[in-house]
Amino acid sequence: MKLRHLAIFLGIVHSGIALAGPSDYVYTPNVEYGEREVDFKFGSARDGSGDRQQASSIGYGYGASERWFTEIYVKYEAGGGEGNHLDALEWENKFQLTETGEYPIDVGLITEIEKPHRKGEPSYEFKFGPLFQTEFGKLQLNANLLFERKFRGSDEDATVQHNTEFGYQWQIKYRWLPAFEYGLQGFGEMGKWNQWDPRDQQNHRFGPAIFGKITLGNRQAIRYNAAWLLAASPAAPDRTFRLQVEYEY
């Protein structure tokens, strides 16, 4: 790959500086037709006062076509002195827009519809955004720009306004061995898409990450990734640990 392709990709990363909870993960644009997976995610974040927020989810996904992967999640949350409780139901759909390797940058699209479970929360939330991936030698680079908006039903308080929020994800992975790869991950929240929050109110965090795929045979595999994220802005949690484990078959 030419160096100018790397420069274009890094420009995408910095141009759109999603909205991430402690268990959220970095999306990748590629889809494998016919693949089924059981997906578990966990995250724990702690701020400077010692308050901790935890989130987890369990999902089932299916590669419905060569360009479409769909997944249903049940999400749980704990924090603020409350025990673990059902937080939301989520339907995620990923679309691969380009053939893998056909262009210098692979492109995809993510969409998510979430139905919060607790009273007093919006009727549902919608998230979408483009996904980008490229390779440079043994390095795999990802950058995602995400938009999220909360909606209320017609019978709820119409005076409540919800803005479209804008943020990013990025990832750098060195493909050392199939069962063990390492790199960096970052997540951030900027505020409204057309008027970012002041710097001290933005939420930026990044840190080291590990990845791997353990092949079990007969198209079965366990894929994992985990990261230890540190605050890069005053509004971010001091420390966040996130983990994702998938059983693919």
Structure confidence by residue, pLDDT tens digits, 16-33: 333 567 899 999 999 999
Q: Higher confidence at residue 85 or residue 209?
A: 209
Q: Which domain holds residue 52?
A: 3-248
Element (H, E) at 111: strand 106-116
Cα(71)–Cα(60) distance, integer angstroms: 5
Q: Could you read off the pLDDT of 102-137 as tens digits, one per residue?
A: 999 999 999 999 998 876 666 889 999 999 999 999
Q: 123: number of CA atoms within 13 Å, CB side?
A: 10
Q: Which tokens go with 86?
A: 């059902």
pLDDT bucket at 3, cuts 50 / 70 / 90? low
What CATH number corresponds to the domain at position 190? 2.40.160.40
Kindly indicate the confidence band of residue 199, based on its pLDDT and cuts at 50, 70 and 90.
Answer: confident
Average pLDDT of the segment spanning 141-157: 81
User: What is the tally of structural domains in the chain?
Assistant: 1
Stretch among 62-76, 109-123, 183-197, 218-232 having the lowest mean pLDDT: 109-123
Both tokens assigned to 91: 């339907």
What length is written for the chain?
249
